[in-house]
Structure 1
Amino acid sequence: MTSTANFLERLDTLRRLMAEADHILVGAGSGLSTAAGLDYAGEAFQQEFRPWIERYGITDLYTSSFYPFATEEERWAYWAKHIWFCRYRPGATPLYRQLHEKLMPYSTKLFIITTNVDAQFALAGFDPKRIFAAQGDYAFFQPASGSPKTLMDNREWVTLALKEIDNCRIPSKLIPFMPDGQPASTNLRVDGTFVEDYHWHRMSKRYGDFVRNAAQGRLLLLEFGVGFNTPGIIRLPFEQMASQFPDATLVRLNRDNPEPALPDLQRYISFTEEITSVLASL
């Protein structure tokens, strides 16, 4: 069954797969958070980042993450605003809460892998012990050098820095450093310095264990909004599992890129309808 089947038929099939599955593996990319209203270039961005838009000409929160600010005071003023906007401002969005409600009956057979760094799954009430955030979390700083493999919570710093932003700068005294005196950076995977700390490795192992335990059972691979930015983390492995495991089915919710890369994938269903519509109808 593919996206060409009737919408209601696909919904019925998804309900059955959820109920009958021994294991449900959720994979989530940026499309899910975008559907939830966390838009990196929308109206809220235009409003909150107007001083940066006017001064630096930034157009969205993705490309602006790589902007070559002239000073550390400017760079960290931007990041204080960015982290607050994406991590601390929204709280749990209604869409993630709705997803939690739909999946709660299956919570004991569920695991989540996500490339999103906004912690929406945890904020919505999913068990943190069942969430592997492979690409990091806005809530933490790490050593800019990548060593040692330790993280530092940044919420207190963000709150303080926001109050001190003036003309798109923060005071020099607020430039963040790690407890050992090293310069800090955000714990987001952008290069080889990304810190995979003890918690990251523990959750990576739990993810691997879940996949191994699910390999011979009835496995539902439920994929939300995963594109081609980092396809090797969720998109392609999910297709491989659906192809190689004896009783695994991939259900892909993706408006723009539903087609699998693997040819002749048999146990596969796609929804190109809006994620909000699918969850509301489920």
Structure 2
Amino acid sequence: MSFHLSPSQTEKIKTIFKQADALIISAGAGMGVDSGLPDFRGNQGMWQAYPELGKQRIDFTEIANPAAFKRHPRLAWGFYGHRLALYRQTNPHQGFQQLKRLAEILELPSFVFTSNVDGQFQKAGFNPDQIYECHGSIHHLQCLGACTQTIWSANELLPEINHQDCQWLGELPQCPICKGLARPNILMFDDMSWISRRHTQQAKRLEAFLKNHQHPVVIEMGAGTAIPTVRYFSERFSPYLIRINLREYTLPIQGGIALATTAEQGVRSIYQIFIE
């Protein structure tokens, strides 16, 4: 499946980039899907990837929940441990590099706003100081009971999972302070104990960036309406918004440009305008 911009879309994109003093890259789950990552927003997709959760009729809101770590610690860590290993071995698709290159070619300072917890932007070489992960990151851990405000790296964690039963094998990840159970530093459903220190620092850097750059253009990719955090953020900058979404491409009333395609193809079509 290939995608081509219409002449009027091409002209509109050129015009909004001419007026821009910065590039904001905003991304939801659809960004990672093009790298081969599963999208867990629908139960069918999740249960296909994790048949044991389907067997037990455990949906995403139940497993992505601190209560799951208390009730079924090996199952919850089986789910998150598998995801951690998957994200580590996944290579970001070409669109990541094209976005980076686009900012360089056009000499636009850039910042990333993402709801993805997969760390793919860092892996693709984006500056970690210019990334805001609004739901946290699977590559960082915290105490389940929040006995301390400390957040630590998951780099030392080597998941061993029984994929059939979605069970963590061996010793469960521990808080180094209280020796209780650790969990990913991700904002989950019904989450009263998420430690947001890292997130707050990222938010401050984004705020400072937006103070210095008042006319950004936003390229938004794969951000759905089920959890609309990324869409709401992007829409603040309408009509200087390019929304790339295969299905949910409706624009806000202030306008923008809608590209009904995948993240990777949409980025490629924009990139090609400026390298020709």
Range into which the TM-score falls when normalised by the shorter chain: 0.7 to 0.9
Retained in 1: the 8 A contact 2:23–2:218?
yes
Identity fraction in percent: 20
> How much does 1:237 deviate?
3.3
- TM value normalised by structure 1: 0.76
Q: Which residue of 2 aligns with 1:245?
A: none
In structure 1, distance between residues paired with 2:168 and 2:235: 46
Runs of 5+ unmatched residues, structure 1: 1-5, 243-247
- RMSD between aligned residues: 3.3
Per the TM alignment, residue 126 of structure 1 is displaced from its structure 2 partner at its CA by 1.3
Instruction: Identify if the C-alpha distance between structure 1 residues 57 and 166 changes in structure 2 by more than 3 Å, giving closer, same or farther.
Output: closer
Residue identity in the other structure for 2:201? R
2:81: which partner in 1? 80
Question: Distance in 2 between the 1:114 and 1:55 partners?
Answer: 26
Aligned to 1:239: 235
1:271 corresponds to which residue? 259
2:185 is aligned to 187
Distance 1:271 1:166 in 2: 39
Could you give the per-residue CA deviations for residues 190-225 of structure 1, whole angstroms, max 9, x where no partner exists?
12222112x32221111112222333xx32122112
Separation in 1 of the partners of 2:173 and 2:127? 30
1:31-180 matches, cutoff 5 A? 31-40=30-39, 52-53=50-51, 57=55, 62=60, 65-66=63-64, 71-85=72-86, 87-106=87-106, 108-157=108-157, 159=158, 161-162=159-160, 168-171=166-169, 174-180=171-177
What amino acid does structure 2 have at the position aligned with 1:201? T
TM-score by length of 2: 0.78
Partner of 1:9: 8
Offset at residue 186 of structure 1 (A): 1.2
| Partner residue in 2 for 1:250 | 241
Which whole-Å CA distance do the structure 1 matches of 2:77 and 2:51 have between them?
A: 16
Local SS of the residue matching 2:236: helix
The letter for the 2-side match of 1:145 is G
Asked if 2 retains the 8 angstrom alpha-carbon contact of 1:141 and 1:184, the reply is: yes
CA distance in structure 1 between the partners assigned to 2:78 and 2:165 by the alignment = 9
Alpha-carbon spacing, 1:221–1:40, altered in 2? closer, same or farther (3 Å): closer
How many matched pairs? 257
Q: Which consecutive unaligned segments of at least 5 residues does structure 2 have?
A: 271-276
CA distance 1:11–1:122, shift in 2 (3 Å): farther
